[in-house]
Amino acid sequence: MGSSVRPRHWTGRGAVPQVTCATNRSVMHGADGVQCIFVAPNKINVNVPNDLPSLPYETQMGTSMEQALEWLRAGEPVALPTETVYGLAANALDGHAVARIFAAKNRPAFDPLLVHVDSVASARKYAYLPGWVERALEANGPGPLTFVVPKKDCIPDLVTSGLPTVGIRIPNHPLFLEVLRQLPFPLAAPSANPFGYISPTTAQHVWDQLYGKIPYILDGGACSVGVESTIVDATLPVPTVVRLGGTPVERVEALLGRTVEVRTHSSSRPQAPGLLESHYAPRIPLILVDEHEVVEVPCGWAAVGYRNIAHWIQVDPNRSWLLTPQNNDCEAAANLFAFLRAADSSGAQGIVASRAPQQGLGPAINDRLQRAAHFPA
């Protein structure tokens, strides 16, 4: 970590948001006197989602594990590859480090972060895991599956936005796991995109959007799964999938040996966030259709089909993508965010995208497309 990669105008800790914890309250002071109050456990009262200063860094991208570790040890956020999407990671036990994630992403502080660990034994240090969750995590191994469980006091309120629960995940990427093994703390990590935009599945995606806002991007190639982890709330009477993702619901049920509920309803200001109606959204309008319909693509628009859109009318061959010509849901998920980005940057005025069949990762793909869909009134 040479001086050349220090933030250009960084004047030390005093210049970044600080978090101090009172009994059940965290008060965050921004450099410019902005304040943000987190009240735990039930009432979340946060008023500075967008006001945290984001610092200019001379961002570097590379494959140096040592650089990534040095920045993380120094309390800085680093983009790391996972099997689902790239995460923006920082020390989950350090409120200062976590505040930098919110600043870099421009993420509202009411939206809690997941905590990443390398093993069930490690997870036990930070959260209370019911036996059935432990068994499921052991049986699954590292993978795109997150459990929401009661948190221990060592996890700062800022990580969970004041909620008494925390999402715990063991990511299945060799670089992320190696980073975790080398560090004495767990890593809080949301997807490494500006809040509300399409999640990154390559290091270049992170670079394109967070350049100047973070010091280092560890390049681990393209993410193999391509959609975020499935989140199961283990604190409800019946285990409930609250976000569809890289582990299909059938697999969750097989792991748990029981049926689960699926409740991924969204609202514009959910009590347990992460289910915002509009998310993963390209900058240009996106409308969602059924692929088998005969669709007339508006002039100047891009098309993102699932398997075959040969019957669509007026498709611009330079602005059309197929998620999976082979009709494979895993391939489609792995391509989804990259193709949405490509369409968004293609100069098109909008995107027509088609739904996936409702099997395997299809529901997770459709969930992302549904939240990405928007059309100006």
Tokens of 81: 């590859």
Residue with token string 């109050």:
37
State which residue, 201 or 320, has the beta carbon closest to ligand TXA: 201
Supply the minimum distance, in Å, between the C-beta of residue 32 and Mg ion. 26
Should residue 82 be labelled a site residue for Mg ion when binding is judged by CB under 5 A? no
Interaction partner, residue 272 (ligand TXA, Mg ion, none; CB < 5-8 Å by kind): ligand TXA
Beta bridge partners of 262: 241
Cα(298)–Cα(348) distance, rounded to whole angstroms?
A: 10
Among 193, 195, 226, 171, smallest CA distance to 337 is for 226
Q: Which of 82, 191, 247, 320 binds Mg ion (CB under 5 A)?
A: 191
Should residue 230 be labelled a site residue for Mg ion when binding is judged by CB under 5 A? no
221-240 residues in contact with ligand TXA (CB under 6 A) are 228-229, 231
Q: Which of 40, 79, 97, 163 binds ligand TXA (CB under 6 A)?
A: 163
Supply the minimum distance, in Å, between the C-beta of residue 323 and ligand TXA. 19
- Contact range with ligand TXA by CB under 6 A, out of 6-14, 44-52, 95-103, 159-167: 159-167
Cα(113)–Cα(36) distance, rounded to whole angstroms?
A: 17
Comparing every residue's Cβ against ligand TXA, the nearest one is: 274
Supply the minimum distance, in Å, between the C-beta of residue 31 and Mg ion. 26
CB count, 10 Å around CB of 293? Answer: 10
Should residue 229 be labelled a site residue for Mg ion when binding is judged by CB under 5 A? no
State which residue, 79 or 356, has the beta carbon closest to ligand TXA: 79
Decide if 106 contacts 195 (C-beta within 8 A).
yes
46-85 residues in contact with ligand TXA (CB under 6 A) are 82, 84-85
Q: Residue numbers of the site for ligand TXA (CB under 6 A)?
A: 82, 84-85, 87, 111-114, 144, 146, 148, 160, 163, 165-167, 169, 171, 189-191, 228-229, 231, 242, 272-274
